Chain A
Amino acid sequence: MITVLVVDDAAFMRLAIKNVLEKNGFKVVADAKNGQEGIEKYIEYHPDIVTMDITMPDMTGIEALKKIREYDKNAKVVMISAMGQERMVKEAILNGAKSFIVKPYKEEHITQTLLKIAADK
């Protein structure tokens, strides 16, 4: 089973993503409500994929992405962004984000993206 760590400051978003993933056979091993917690959970669970909100308090998704990739440069991180964050997304890609999903998204956007990324070497 593909294991996923969901990092998002919004409880609703965490739940929404979790529901979509679990319905489609992924295993959400942990979630985190900010960047710092995201890094800690990554080290603890070594998930196959991380979904990472870009905008979060204290530490942004991009900072967390950098830290996680420093710890494990194979980490597969998918950014969850909103319209208008083009610059941030670009920065995330330059820092090794595997792909990104633009809110609002369709269910299959998430599942297809994660499946493809999990399969990618």
Chain B
Amino acid sequence: MAEHYGDSLLEMFLFETSQNTEQLERIILDTEKAGKFSEEAINEIFRIMHTIKGSAAMMSFSNISTVAHKAEDLFYFIRENPSVEYDCSNITDIILSCMDYINSEMEKIKNNEEADIEGGEALIQRVERCLHEISGGKGVSRNKNTGTESKSAEKAADGEKVSKDEKSEKHSYQLTVFFEEGCGMENIRAFSIVRDMEDFADHIRFQPEDIVENNDTVFEIRKNGFKIFFDSAKTYQDIIEIFEKTPFVGSINLIETAKAERNQTQKGAKPEVKNGQKNGNKADKNDEHQSVQSLISVNVSKLDKLMDMVGELVIAESMVVENPDLSGLELPNFQREAQQLHKIINEMQDLVMSLRLVPLASTFQKTHRIVRDMTKKLGKEAEIRIIGEETEVDKNIIEHLSDPLLHLVRNCIDHGIESEEERIAAGKPPVGTITIEAYNAGSNVYVVVRDDGRGIDKNKVLEKAKRQNLLKKPESEMTDKEIYNLIFLPGFSTNETVSEYSGRGVGMDVVLKNILAIGGSLTVESEEGKGMAVIMKIPLTVAIIEGMGILVGNRRFTIPISAMKESFKPDPKDIFTDIYGNEMIMLRGECYAIMRLHKQWGIETEVTNLSDGILILVEQDDKRRCIFADKLIGEHQVVVKTLPELIKRIKTVEGLSGCTLLGDGSISLIIDAGWLVNTDIK
């Protein structure tokens, strides 16, 4: 039924609900450590489930709504019966299952798939059974209670919010309500509003006063509106929102008269502070009186577009400033203004990039769940330690980082952390520690996943690699690092038995792939018996890179500057050929392989003599190579665009990480630095 509502509403629903489930997960996992739900946690879980229930119902996702509803019931019971005994871990499992269900149903909604009604029903029964058990078969006392539960819940939540915001002081308001034309019985509607307001306001006075007794008051209300004066701890915006949700309210006019002294209405205050019409009051959110930072959510595709455009702007700027028509002209004023333009554009670019930055926290938080589930299943003990979760990276990167991170953590628990007995025998603390750390260094972010487990058994890895035919050179020549890197090869897995979590050797190669896809790299450190660490180095942003334009034949390519060490005209004396015909060069005592791009890609060029062209020393993943091209065109900032999906599908296309548009509208292909140093030289 979602098509009845706008896409933006659906997006908002999905966004908010996933935020809610994330928060829920945090609360639950924190709680489980404590072994008991705190009052605050119970209220919060109740509130979240309640919210999800409500918005899902609004969007007509009744399966989600019902599940949330049942979970809400359960927590309602726990809240109302503080002395009840329950198995915290069991309830945690149930709530996490509900959460998983809600998350997976949201995925289905996104992909336009059928809802899993049966799964929902099974879950509902499970919640009901649990509720039945802890309530001793009394059923849900919630249904028998009188009084207004939902309101008290709201109150509790609001009360908390208020105290958090330190907004305990009350505001005085004057409100005029106009009902929708033709709704009928306006005086009774006014009465109903006043009654509802008692939940969040006091010192309520209204005009006309005799609404209940005198049905003729409808005429005055229709003409002049229904005026209410009251004090409330709620903010201006809160009140507007409440009335937006009230049936038959056509428009309202809310004026904040003054901050009320506690328990005392100030009468003479000037009613000019705020004045908002119900419809079209959104801009008021930015009102200076709102001490809360105001936030809006923006569609990421708009940010991407903005980023693209700023990128184009950077290019256009250089096209103008370096326009050949200007060459040789003395233009001091132009130069000065161009400098200013350059400065503004640079600042703008920084700002736009910062807009796309999001903290790693929520990605890191997801690992808690995995540790919890896996340690429980595998009978191991492990703790997760998170450092630097406030570190921010580009939104695109977060998406690529989440899976690798989770997989690495899974791997730590599955392969790294030993059983309790083993750990004690080895003189280690019985509980293993997995550390996830993020920090900034230069234009890169480092994310490290470290454990204090058994480390990588080199011999085992080698043995396994040999069996799988993955070894490319003799064992004796392999450095430790090269051995560790074997675990990232497709099809490699050191665990003898396939486990539910780390799977069949799929995964570690995906980790590498994902990291490479965002222009990052990774290294492994390990010490047998002490633990291992995977260090991922990720560029801060991938959307704009500094590139070096090169020419091969008549084709233009771009190499990321970050991978370039230097470029030079080789001295023929330094070049030699080994017995297999491989070209090499000696540079300051180091020997590097030479890769000719024209040969590698079969591009025709007149520049085939190494000393006629240029050699570029590139470094990536601690490997170095010299790349041969016809000539350098120059440095430029480029906006990275991905290659069309169809091109990516063609397996014979390799060595490219994307493309970019040049100032003249032509396309330059961006060379994948990883490929430059890793591919077999032709």
Measured CB to CB, the residues of A under 8 A from B are 1-3, 25, 48, 70-74, 81, 83, 86, 89-90, 93-94, 96, 98-100, 102, 105-106, 109, 112-113, 115-121
B653–chain A nearest beta-carbon distance, Å: 48
Q: Does B667 make an interface contact (CB < 8 A)?
A: no
The answer to whether A74 touches B195, judged by C-beta atoms less than 8 angstroms apart, is no
Contacts of A25 in B (CB 8 A): 1, 4, 60
The answer to whether B142 touches A102, judged by C-beta atoms less than 8 angstroms apart, is no
B218–chain A nearest beta-carbon distance, Å: 9
Partner of B192, one of A81, A93, A106: A93
The answer to whether B58 touches A119, judged by C-beta atoms less than 8 angstroms apart, is yes
Q: How far apart sit A58 and B192, CA to CA, in the bound complex (Å)?
A: 27
Contact (A121, B188) CB under 8 Å given A1-B62, A73-B147, A115-B58: no
Partner of A99, one of B146, B147, B248: B248
Contacts of B60 in A (CB 8 A): 1-2, 25
Query: What string of 1s and 0s marks CB contacts (under 8 Å) between B239-255 and chain A?
Result: 00000011110000000
Question: Contacts A73-B147, A100-B185 given; 10 further ones with Cβ under 8 A?
Answer: A1-B1, A2-B62, A73-B145, A86-B187, A99-B192, A112-B247, A112-B248, A115-B58, A117-B247, A118-B57
The answer to whether A73 touches B195, judged by C-beta atoms less than 8 angstroms apart, is no
Contacts of A86 in B (CB 8 A): 185, 187-188, 215
Query: What string of 1s and 0s marks CB contacts (under 8 Å) between B133-155 and chain A?
Result: 00000000011111111100110
A-B contact pairs, 27 of them (CB 8 A): A2-B57, A73-B143, A73-B145, A74-B142, A74-B150, A83-B184, A83-B185, A93-B188, A96-B148, A98-B247, A99-B247, A100-B185, A100-B188, A100-B192, A102-B185, A109-B180, A109-B183, A112-B248, A113-B248, A115-B58, A117-B247, A118-B54, A119-B54, A119-B57, A120-B54, A121-B54, A121-B153
Contacts of B185 in A (CB 8 A): 81, 83, 86, 89, 100, 102
Contacts of B187 in A (CB 8 A): 86
From 32 to 66 in chain B, residues with beta carbon under 8 angstroms from any chain A beta carbon are 50-51, 54-55, 57-58, 60, 62
The answer to whether A90 touches B212, judged by C-beta atoms less than 8 angstroms apart, is yes
Contacts of B247 in A (CB 8 A): 98-99, 112-113, 116-117
Instruction: Please name the residue on chain B nearest to A3 by beta carbon.
Output: B62
B196–chain A nearest beta-carbon distance, Å: 9
Instruction: Please name the residue on chain B nearest to A118 by beta carbon.
Output: B57
Report the interface size for chain B: residues with CB under 8 A from the other chain.
38
Main secondary structure on A side of the interface with B: mixed
Contacts of B180 in A (CB 8 A): 109
Contacts of B146 in A (CB 8 A): 70, 73
Q: How far apart sit A71 and B144, CA to CA, in the bound complex (Å)?
A: 6
The answer to whether B57 touches A116, judged by C-beta atoms less than 8 angstroms apart, is no
The answer to whether A119 touches B188, judged by C-beta atoms less than 8 angstroms apart, is no
Q: How far apart sit A35 and B499, CA to CA, in the bound complex (Å)?
A: 58
Q: How far apart sit A109 and B154, CA to CA, in the bound complex (Å)?
A: 27
Q: Does B191 make an interface contact (CB < 8 A)?
A: yes
Measured CB to CB, the residues of B under 8 A from A are 1, 4, 50-51, 54-55, 57-58, 60, 62, 142-150, 153-154, 180, 182-185, 187-189, 191-192, 195, 212, 215, 245-248
- Nearest 7 pairs between A and B by C-beta? A102-B184, A113-B247, A119-B58, A1-B60, A99-B247, A93-B192, A25-B4
The answer to whether B183 touches A48, judged by C-beta atoms less than 8 angstroms apart, is no
B10–chain A nearest beta-carbon distance, Å: 14
Contacts of B58 in A (CB 8 A): 2, 115, 118-119
Q: How far apart sit A73 and B151, CA to CA, in the bound complex (Å)?
A: 11
Contacts of A121 in B (CB 8 A): 50-51, 54, 150, 153-154
Q: How far apart sit A71 and B60, CA to CA, in the bound complex (Å)?
A: 24
Contacts of B1 in A (CB 8 A): 1, 25
Instruction: Please name the residue on chain B nearest to A109 by beta carbon.
Output: B183
Q: How far apart sit A48 and B59, CA to CA, in the bound complex (Å)?
A: 13
B48–chain A nearest beta-carbon distance, Å: 11
Instruction: Please name the residue on chain B nearest to A83 by beta carbon.
Output: B184
B336–chain A nearest beta-carbon distance, Å: 58
Contacts of B54 in A (CB 8 A): 118-121
The answer to whether B150 touches A109, judged by C-beta atoms less than 8 angstroms apart, is no
B471–chain A nearest beta-carbon distance, Å: 60
Q: How far apart sit A71 and B180, CA to CA, in the bound complex (Å)?
A: 33
Contacts of B51 in A (CB 8 A): 121
A119–chain B nearest beta-carbon distance, Å: 4
Contacts of B192 in A (CB 8 A): 93, 99-100
B244–chain A nearest beta-carbon distance, Å: 8
A120–chain B nearest beta-carbon distance, Å: 5
B542–chain A nearest beta-carbon distance, Å: 40
Contacts of A81 in B (CB 8 A): 185
A54–chain B nearest beta-carbon distance, Å: 12
Contacts of B195 in A (CB 8 A): 93-94
Contact (A93, B62) CB under 8 Å given A25-B1, A121-B50, A121-B54: no
B53–chain A nearest beta-carbon distance, Å: 8
Partner of A116, one of B183, B212, B215, B245: B245
Contact (A93, B191) CB under 8 Å given A99-B248, A102-B183: yes
Q: How far apart sit A93 and B185, CA to CA, in the bound complex (Å)?
A: 13
Contacts of B189 in A (CB 8 A): 100
Q: How far apart sit A70 and B143, CA to CA, in the bound complex (Å)?
A: 7
Contacts of A116 in B (CB 8 A): 245-247
Q: How far apart sit A1 and B248, CA to CA, in the bound complex (Å)?
A: 22
Interface centre among B147, B188, B246 (most CB of A within 10 A): B188
Q: How far apart sit A116 and B57, CA to CA, in the bound complex (Å)?
A: 11
Contacts of B154 in A (CB 8 A): 121
B392–chain A nearest beta-carbon distance, Å: 33
Q: How far apart sit A11 and B1, CA to CA, in the bound complex (Å)?
A: 28
B581–chain A nearest beta-carbon distance, Å: 72
B455–chain A nearest beta-carbon distance, Å: 52
Interface centre among A105, A106, A121 (most CB of B within 10 A): A121
Q: How far apart sit A14 and B107, CA to CA, in the bound complex (Å)?
A: 37
Contacts of B184 in A (CB 8 A): 83, 102, 105
Partner of B149, one of A74, A90, A119: A74
